[in-house]
Amino acid sequence: MTIPVEQLSDPTVRAFVTALNAHDRQAFAAVLAPGATMSDDGSDRDVNDWTEREIFSSGGRMEVEAEADGGRALVATYTNDTWGAMRTAWRFTVDGGQIARFETGQA
């Protein structure tokens, strides 16, 4: 069972998932705070390189299964053309209506 994106609790996380699924680079960049950081499976990554490779050039998309922590922690099936589908956990740090950090990894 998935949670429709428009029903995600945190508006900033909702904007992140909406932009990701739409492959909207401009909207995605707008939701990230200047200097935003991220990690994948516990290793810090360059946000621009990672998002280009794992989202935009590989058709990345997420279907949210569950949320916690006021909508700032998600479990989702993440799919892209490189890796296929995998169950992933996402955690977001939101500051001033933008995402300052996100962490993802296998759930």
Q: Report the top-level CATH class of 5-106.
A: alpha beta
**3-state DSSP assignment of residue 86:** strand
Write the pLDDT tens digit of every residue in 76-104. 999 999 999 999 999 999 999 999 999 99
Question: Which of the four pLDDT bands, split at 50, 70 and 90, describes residue 1?
Answer: confident
Distant-in-sequence, close-in-space partners of 4: CB < 8 Å, separation ≥ 6: none
Helices (H), 1-107: 11-22, 25-31, 47-51
Per domain, the residue ranges of the chain are 5-106
Write the pLDDT tens digit of every residue in 12-55. 999 999 999 999 999 999 999 999 999 999 999 999 999 999 99
Alpha carbon distance 43, 41 (integer Å)? 6
Alpha carbon distance 85, 106 (integer Å)? 11
